[in-house]
Structure 1
Amino acid sequence: MASKQPDRRLIHKDRFNYVFGSLKTQNYQDPVARGPGSHTIRTLAWNPTGQLIATGSANRTLRIWNPERANARYSTELRGHTAGIEKVVFNPVRDAELASCSSDGTVRFWDVRSKTCVSKLDVGGEAFTLSWSADGRVVMVGRKDDTLVPVSVESASTPTIAIHNGTSSSSSVPLAEQQKSPSTYTILPPHPQNTQTNATTFSYHIPTPSAPDLDLLATTGDGTVRIFSYPSFNLQHTLNAHSSACLALALAPTGRYLAVGGSDALISLWDTTDWVCRRTVSSEGGGTIRGVSWSFDGRFLCGSSEEVGPNGLEIFHAETGDSVHKIPATAGVPAVAWHPTRYWLAYSLMAEGSNAGGLRIVGAAGGGL
């Protein structure tokens, strides 16, 4: 796995609880929420620079927030999907390009600056997950019928943004010129799988003439993670990760570890050099792990679960497996996402009863770290 090293002041794990615990939490409420539970945010994604965060909800609302301004009037609603939003992901090398998928059977690509849908693709079934390759040229769509559908993304312009060593750098191509050269999106042949297939992610490898293939990792319902070579879809490895379904996965920004979340309430950490499980972490009384996210330095991770235990949302230190901080939560946490360059943590709460749900960002209020 290729490595992306962070370049920012780090917090020692023994001080993490004190430092992170001193940060304030900002609340963001969707103004168009209607009905109990209908506006639960299912998915979160930061753009590469961390200047925007996208949220997708059960009530079809796709919204782009400015984390510095909690009032919804500073946000942008992107309309078009006719069913709940299942996943949102920003292009890792173009900070204004967003992909979203929905159970309406479509994947939509958006220019968040112009607030427009630049492409709508019918992927032939209910889409519930997405992942983007590190070079921004492939999006992998997962359908609920356990079919993976690649989408080729071609752009005539140099990427807007690139993240290297934990910092961002701008393209030399003027923004106005980039917008004149929109991307083109092409659905490639689908690849049905012979087992329940859940989340996917790509390795950080950038294709070269001498090493053109990518690693595509997929969690499955039989407790394994399958590692394919893309675009051939040849199976390279199978990790026997959990005793029950694996639902979520995420590579650390350093590329050193793969975190896998399962329905057994565990997160397993795999060394990507030899594919050995180094440790597992879990929250007391926690439930099925629906998502996992790494801090920008690859040292801390957090999992999301719709069945939150007495510890609420728990943050772990990857190297030791120690629990370093707990965030109280009065409801389930469907989605969680660390900021790409700061110790900010975004998460959503289930909307139920008197709880209004919505987006929370630890660190956004008062500047953070």
Structure 2
Amino acid sequence: MAPPKVSRSVRKDQFPSVLKALKTTAYYDAGRDNRLVTNIRGLAWSPTGNAIATTVSNYIRIWDPDRTKVAQSLELKSGAPGIVEKVAYCPTHEAVLASTAVDGICRLWDARMPGGVAGASKGTKLSEAKVGDTGLFLTWHPSGTELLVGRKDDVVMSVDVRKLGGSEGALGTGWDLEARQIDPLQGRHGKTQLNEMAFSNSGRELLVTTGHGPVEIYDWPSLDYLHTLTAHNSAAYSVRHSPAGSFIAAGSGDGMVTLWDTTHWHCAHTMMAHTGPVRDLSFSYDGAYIACGSGGDTKESSTGIEISHVDTGERVHTIDTVAPASWIAWHPLRYWLAYAGETGGLRIVGAGSST
């Protein structure tokens, strides 16, 4: 199979006109255009961008971005009544998807679409592990052999993934999941509210948001405390490492996004992204741009998706939305931007284009 094509990077002065020309495609989780679709609580692109997964109530919906009909999507049902909170694709395996839910179970799924064509299906559950309480977030280690699940009670579980793949790329059935509680993170603030974690690109550091506002950095896997980014005065909700590794971005309840230079460890840019909390961040595939989403269970959330140029911190474009877009994600190889939280479900800006 030929490697997927990567789109050409676009200069800052050209970027607004390029994005304005892109069409927004809607994906409705119903047989008709249902404007009252159940709230999506998370979304994730596959490593190549050939599929995108969303959480809808107690199941997962996987879309081919080129196919908008729900009959052409893949549905994964766990059989449990609880809401699915988050999904994340394995970074080293296109077809493996992890999910966490209010029932306290982390699941691994075979998320392949039969014959390369989407279709109604319950999918295949590869394995599961009990994490003990509602899983609010999850993040894969870059190696694809471990993922962290953050529980509602601010306990973090490490899920060790051992796979015994079959022949000719088959996933096989020998997936073994083992969950263990990791040692409490004791940075400058001691035990704190944990809203999200992210590994650095190398997997040697763990970036941790705190309820106090700073982002704490720990060595992995020793969990030795390394550094604090004094990012915000209110709770930090999101954190990301840029694709090239030059910046760490943090978003918080004060509506601000801070960009930190990882060479000198100073705050390179501070951007007012929203009037409400910044719930989600996403770097474009080339690391040149960052998008910010605002939403969640707060009346202060603002509409629109703000996109800024990373090197300068300048706002270059705003995608208008009729309601807050809580969850956003750039395509891993193109300037396509997926978002959810707006009434009507999943939308992708640029789907089907060569940009």
Query: Which TM-score band applies after superposition, normalised by the shorter structure?
Result: 0.7 to 0.9
C-alpha distance in structure 1 between counterparts of 2:36 and 2:197, whole Å: 27
**Is the CA contact (8 Å cut-off) linking 2:138 and 2:147 kept in structure 1?**
yes
Per the alignment, residue 280 of structure 2 pairs with: 291
What is the identity, as a one-letter code, of the residue corresponding to 1:76?
L
Per the alignment, residue 61 of structure 1 pairs with: 59
Query: Does residue 12 of structure 2 align to residue 23 of structure 1?
Result: no
Match of 1:361 among 331, 348, 351: 348
Per the alignment, residue 144 of structure 1 pairs with: 152
Task: Structure 2 unaligned segments of length 5 or more: list them.
Answer: 115-122, 186-190
Per the alignment, residue 12 of structure 1 pairs with: 11
Per the alignment, residue 302 of structure 1 pairs with: 291
Per the alignment, residue 320 of structure 2 pairs with: 328
**Is the CA contact (8 Å cut-off) linking 2:294 and 2:302 kept in structure 1?**
no
- Describe the SS at the equivalent of 2:94: coil
The alpha-carbon deviation at position 330 of structure 1 amounts to: 0.6
What is the identity, as a one-letter code, of the residue corresponding to 1:325?
H
- Percent identity over paired residues: 39
C-alpha distance in structure 2 between counterparts of 1:336 and 1:103, whole Å: 22
Per the alignment, residue 70 of structure 2 pairs with: 72
What is the identity, as a one-letter code, of the residue corresponding to 1:289?
V
C-alpha distance in structure 2 between counterparts of 1:30 and 1:99, whole Å: 20
Instruction: Give the alignment's TM-score, normalised by structure 2.
Output: 0.88
C-alpha distance in structure 1 between counterparts of 2:317 and 2:199, whole Å: 29
C-alpha distance in structure 2 between counterparts of 1:79 and 1:264, whole Å: 37
Q: Give the alignment's Cα RMSD to 1 decimal.
A: 2.2
- Describe the SS at the equivalent of 1:73: helix
Per the alignment, residue 99 of structure 2 pairs with: 100
C-alpha distance in structure 2 between counterparts of 1:262 and 1:87, whole Å: 19
C-alpha distance in structure 2 between counterparts of 1:251 and 1:85, whole Å: 25
Per the alignment, residue 193 of structure 2 pairs with: 196
Q: Deviations 1:48-90 (Å, cap 9, x if unpaired)?
A: 0100000013x22311100000111111111114222221100
Query: Does residue 335 of structure 2 align to residue 343 of structure 1?
Result: yes
**Is the CA contact (8 Å cut-off) linking 1:23 and 1:368 kept in structure 2?**
no
Match of 2:257 among 267, 279, 282: 267
User: RCO greater where, 1 or 2, for CA within 8 Å and sep 6 or more?
Assistant: 1
C-alpha distance in structure 1 between counterparts of 2:206 and 2:62, whole Å: 28
Q: Deviations 1:141-200 (Å, cap 9, x if unpaired)?
A: 101111111111122449xxxxxxxxxxxxxx722xx32364321112333451111100
**Is the CA contact (8 Å cut-off) linking 1:149 and 1:191 kept in structure 2?**
no
Per the alignment, residue 187 of structure 1 pairs with: 179
Query: Does residue 240 of structure 2 align to residue 250 of structure 1?
Result: yes
Task: Structure 1 unaligned segments of length 5 or more: list them.
Answer: 1-5, 159-172, 207-213, 352-356
Match of 1:229 among 215, 219, 231: 219
